[in-house]
Structures are given as C-alpha cells and as structure tokens.
Chain A
C-alpha cells in the first residue's frame, strides 16, 4: 500500500482521462480546434481592429485604395472630432507658422492640415450630454429597481407574476412605437430636447431590466440573514440597508454597468426626441461630416469612445454577461 502511494501521482490529475480525450486522434483534433478558434476569433475581431486603425490614420491614408495596414499614426481624427476649425488662407498660415513655437500640440496639428482651431466642436457638448443623461438615468433606474426588486423578491404580492410580466413586457416594446405618443406628450410638457425628458425616458427604458436582473441577484441571498436581523430588533429598512445591500453589491454593480452601457449606446430615442440641447453622442457620431462626405477619421475616433468602455465592461463582467443579456432569466 505504502509503495503504491509513493508511485502514485503527487498532484491532482487535471488532465482529462476519458478515453475519447486522451486518444492520439482526439489530441490532434484538439490542436486543430484551437487553431480554428484562433483564426475565427481573429476574423471576428477584424472590424474592431479596422476601426481602431482608422482612428489613427490621416485623411489621405484612409481614402487611398488599397486599404493600408501599415501607416503613420496621427491624431488628426481626434482633432476633427473635438475641435471646430476654419480653413486659413496661405497668408494667415504663414503668420501662424511664424509663431508656431508658442503653439500647443493640437494647434500645430491643425496648422499642418492648413487649419486653425476656433474652439471645441459640437461633439464635446454632446459627449457631455451623454455623460449627464446616461449617468443620472442609470443611478435612478438602479435605485428604483433595487427597491422594487427587493419587494418582489421578499414579500408576498398579489398578482406578482402578472406585475413582473408587465414590467418585462415594457422592454419588449419597439422603441419606434412608443416614441410617437411620447413625442406628443413631451411636446405638451415642453420636454422635447431636454435633459429631464431624456433622463426620465432612459430611466424607464432601463427600469424593467434592472428590476429583473436585481431580483435574480436578491433571490440568491438567503432570506435567513434578514430574519435573524429582524429577530434581533432591526427594522425592515435597517435589515435592508445593513444586511441585504452589502451582500448584493456585486449584483448591483453588474446591473449598474449594464444600464450605463445601454443608456450610453442608445440611439433611436435620442435621434427622434432630441435635436440640439440634449442630443447625445450616438446620433451625432453618424453624421460627422467633413469636406466631401463622411469624415471617417473623426467617426473612427468617436467610435473608440464606444468601443473602449464596452471592451472593458465585457472583460470585467464576463461572468455576468449571460444574465445581463437575458434579463436574469438564464443564470449559469
């Protein structure tokens, strides 16, 4: 017996030992599969790579066929995106060049394409709108959703299933269908193209989602903890804030990030209900015009503002993505 133990494996066996996994043919099959996966992933990611490359290309590099993979990186796209410029006459350019020593990086960059920066572009304001609207509405929908989800998760409510169905069904409505009456309602209230209108709209848009997702997370917290707290003399509110909230932090964080991304990405409502004052970034990025058509370097640079947060979120929330995209219906 002792002898057997000595020759046995010292570390746990982590390799699969099933006959259909260790057979040479299975091993070859695996390396083939890994190779195919690598190639497929690369193909899937090409559009993203192209957009990132385009953001750092100069206007000339973008429009010359054939498409270039190697190029001199420049920040022209960001210049076009964030600044309002005017084309200068050659004489003016000379004057500007003379004092180019004192100019900052962006002014020099603008000068190199024969332009002068007048100030920030409209897009800067729209990004600001996006931040305000998405941020505020996310906080509102998570807070409201948290209370509602808690009530649904812990209390006996008459017609609970019907109410939950109703809440979910509001999310299934096509945006375009709800927008027409909302447009008229907002017109009456004077809310078209205002922060308050958009914030309330996005709050409601995310509310059903946050209720369903948070309810899933709250259901997983054993009710015994609160019962113990209540027996010990906590009020319901104290139990909620001191016992439930700390345990639900992960779920709340995941829900918040999902709501934030949805609000940040939203396009249809913003396109139809805003025009100038409260217009967000998604509808304005599609219409980034330069001289002679779409300004691709600016569009690509702007797209990074949608791509980078999403890439980070996908990575951080990868274990919760499934819940997120199915309203918490599918968990594992």
Chain B
C-alpha cells in the first residue's frame, strides 16, 4: 500500500539502547580478553567475568527489545518501521568503503534476545556442570567469545561483519566441541564439524561476492550504500534490477552455507558427532543458537531468496526440498539412537528442517517464531540431559545402559523434560504448537500440499521418538549407573564430586536455568498466538518487516538531499507492491507474504497425529523395553527387512562412509601422497644433490688442487732450494786452499775476459 500524499509520516522513537546495541557483542569480547589474560588468577577462575558480560549483553538486548516495541508502536498503520542503523567507516579499498555497523530491526531484536538469554543461562549452568574441569577458564573464554560472535553476526549491518561473526562462531564451535581433546573421538568430532561447515562456507563467500558485484552499482547510485549493506541488498533484490540468473546463483550459494551451518541434508553429519562436546555447549551452540545462524541468514536476506528462488511461485524450490528431506531422515535416525544427546541432536536437525521449510514456502514469520520457541525448549531438553548425566548416570548418556526410572529421583528435571517434550511435539497449549503448527499450516496455505503432508509426518515421527526417549530415560527399571553400579573413573576428565551411589536431583545452579527455560517453553508461544486472534500476534507486529514502498531520502552529498525514485514499471506490472515487480516511486525492503488463516479444524488434525504418535510409541516402547515382549525383542535379528532397515539407520544411511572414504580419501589422499612425493624426491632430491655435489667438489679441491698443485709447488720450491744449497755447499769447504784456488781462478778468467774485451 502506498501512503496517501497528504499523510505525514510520524516520527519514530529511538532510544539509548537501540542506538547502542553494538555494545552487546563488544562487552563479551572484552570479557573474553579479560578471561584469557587474567582468568586463571581470578577467584572464580574467569567464570564470573563470563556471566557478568553476558548479563550485560542481556540487559542491552532486553532494553533494545523494549525500545523497539515502543518504536513499532510509534509508527503509523502502514508506515515502514525503519531499522536503527549506525555505521562507522572501517577502511577504504579500491574506491569502496568498508563499514562496520549495527542494523536493528524486529528480527535482530528477537534473535539477539534469544542468544543473550540462553547464553546467560548456560553460563550459570556451566558453573556447576564443569566445576573442577581441567580447562575451566578456557571453556568460559570460548563460550563468551561465541556469544560475542553470534551477537555480532545478528546485529551486523553489512555482510562483512556478518561473515566475521559467522566465522568466529565456527571457531568457537571447534574449540568447544573438542574441549576434552585428550579423547581422540572428541578431536575428530570437532574437526568433522569444522570441516563440514567450512565446506558450506564456500557458498557464503561466493554468495557475498556475487551479491556485492551485482548489487553495488544499484545500491551506490540509488541509496548511497555499498553492495555489502544488508538493507541495500534487500532493496536491490526487490527492485527488479537483478538478473534472474545472478540472483539465483547468489541465493543458491548462500543456501549452501546454510546447509552446512544449520545441518541440512547432505551436510548434517557433523551435528550428531558434535555431541562429543560438553552438554552446555550442545545446548547453546548446537540446538538453540549457532545452528540457527543459517536460518537467520535466510530470514535476514529474505528478499534475495524470495526473488532468486521464486518463493511463493508455482513450483517448489531447493530450500523446501532439502528441508523436507532433512525433516524425515533426521527423524528416522532418532529412532535408533541409544545416546540421549544424539536423539536430541537429530531432533534439532529435524526442527531446523522445519524452519527452513517454512522459509522456503514463504512462511517467514512462523519460521522466525519457531527459532524463538525452539531455542527455549531445545535448550531445556539438553540441559535436562546434562543434569541426568551429572547427577544420575555418572556422566553416561547411554539411555539403554545407564538410565531408567529416573522420574522418581529427579522430579524437577523430569517435569522440565516433559514440558519441553510436549512443546517440541507441538501439543496445545505449549509453545511448539503455536510455532511448528503455524509453519505446517502456512506451507499448506501457500499451496504446497505435499510438503505440508511431509511436515505432518515429521510431527508424528517427532512425537514417537521423543516418547521412546522419555520412556527409556524416566520410566521402566533403573539400569546400570542409575541403579547404582558404576566403574571407578580412570582418568578424571569430569568434575570431581563426592561419590554418590544413587541418582538424585541436581543442585540449584543446574535446576534453576532448567526451570526458567521450562517456563518459557510453556508460555513463549503466547508471543504470537495466532489461534487466539490478531491481537495476540505480537511478533507479527514487532518482527515482521512491513512490505511497503519506502520513499527513501538520500543525501547525495553536502547540501544535496533528494528522494530516490525508481523508474516506473510497465503498466500492469505493479500489481503487488513489494513483490518481484518493480516498486513505484521508492524502494521495498521486504516482500509481501501471505498468512494462512487459522482454523481449529486443521489444528485438531495435527494434534490428533501427534497424540497418535505418542500413544503408539508408548505402547511399543513399554512392550519392547518394559515387558520385553517376545514378539518385538530381537525383531531386527529375525526379520531380514527389519534388519536391513535397522542397519541402514544405524550407519546413518552410509553418508559418513561416503564422505570419509569417497570424498575425503579420494581427494585428500592423492593430494597428500603427491605432496609427499614432491617433498621427498624433488625438494629433498635437490637438497641431497647439492650436498653430494659440494662434497665431491670439496674432495676434488682437496685432493687435486690443494694436495697436488699447491702443496706440490710449495714442496718443489723447497726441494729446489735444498738442491741448490746442496750443490753450492761444497764451495764452502772451510779450507783456505780451496778459497784461494777459487779466488785466483776467478780472477784469471775475469782478467782474460777483460783483456780480450779491451784490447
């Protein structure tokens, strides 16, 4: 909709927090530096700095959120709520200015708050969980740096800072997964995570470069921004200027990075292995925040994807296809896991698939809302798993071996777990219902019926595997460590605690964060409770960017100030403002999206599917694991089909083998061998050849020149002197007679000579 000519724009409120959100990543960075330099000498070994810096960021994020809400409130009905942008010039190269700055809008505020909040809770949780760990200080340093990196990425105004934050997160992930690197499996997992995500990051670099070179001209001349600026790129994508192939390439390249970072098929293999890191790391990085970065990228640069991949167009796009595959295969894999964290990891992969599916199908707001709710209940689930391992199963995460019947011993953990599981399954009135079901609803509403069915199937599977995990952990008979049997710890990598032989509830530092998150898991859905009517759709009001044409004042230089106009589109083209068509008299920053109308009948269908999943899974679990029903026990050994299916799942579809043996060995192996050959035969060969030549030269110089010629000359001259001396010596006979004879003989000869000469 366009503004009527007479309507004036109301001034938007700002605030100190909105202007200074850039402090949110800076404070933890300073905290990181302090911990690294002084942490070991501080009374609490650096953890106090970590917690305090994250609390500061949380305060900043909360303040910014509140002020943003006020800002939105102060805007007119159809006025574009412009983001709070501040930039500083970083450096200049080749005529292009590289700036660094903050871009605060609704999406930023939501994700920033999530990151700061969960980071703070996880830091508090780690105080107890990692007490006595051998690298306590380093852990807090890396955790703080991670939060700083993610917050930098979230508030980034330009793609350079975005990339910087993205890479810092990757680095911290590597450091934290490999926290206990003495165990080779942990180092391998860290490397696998790093390299897999790195493979995807190629796409990020390509995408940023393509966007820069394609958009820079348009953004500089129309908006005065560089081709790195996020809002510049967004406006350019919706202006009709981009070449469809170029923007398609850029969108696909960026999505490849998301595949790596957010664990979509086929680069999802690193996420389950990343569970080798400590549980706080799993709950912060690999469930709620870091893996969401890919989703955040798509949501942030949504116009690029919207235009490039023709979202809301007639056919399905690559994002939806990959997301759908991911949802299903990850959910299937969760059924064969015995490690509780791996179940949650595959669940995370599956839920990320949901978010991507939503974004791919044009359901921007439900996807972002799912980021919000998923963060809380997934983090809660991970922290509960950590609590169980800390206080019940003696650092074991194996459900089948060391857990069982824990609901009696760990009530708080059990309650939190149950609530979060119900939220994850999407049961009304927990938060997951409001977000996940909205995604499925909007996917179907935009016409992608097949994908909606996939989504519903995924919901069924989610309910099923989570029920299985719940049963194995909290119900049935206590097994292994939970029953009190445990072997003595060999090398104590874990926190030292007084020997308790029976499971018990964890301390306050662990249970309080869990409880807080559980409460949020229940109530966070009310931030955008579409079923209850439009007045409950707060996030839609605050976070979703309005698809309105903005007449952008652009200061072209000193004294000049004018409104940009984009050339008017052909007649009949401007049917949808802020669609792919060229906007009239201004720029668009966000595309126009659809919102499906909520119907309780649709909701009932999904709830029924979920309950069916819970019920069937409960029955099968209690039959198989509880009563040891003879029909089910050993089914995979007896039935060939079941066995084949189990093996396929247990080997993770042989994708890991494909990657490791097929790709890595066949590419890296020959390269390594060639490099080794070059080193041994060419480089070392040259070296040895030079050495041999020098030795031979030395020998030649010594033997032939020095010994024979030089010494020969010296010896020969000495011999000559001796010979001459020996020859002349007899003249000195000592006898006067000889001397006299010699004298007179010489005189006679001389006299004769003179006489002849002169007469």
A and B from one complex: no
B positions within 8 Å CB-CB of A: none
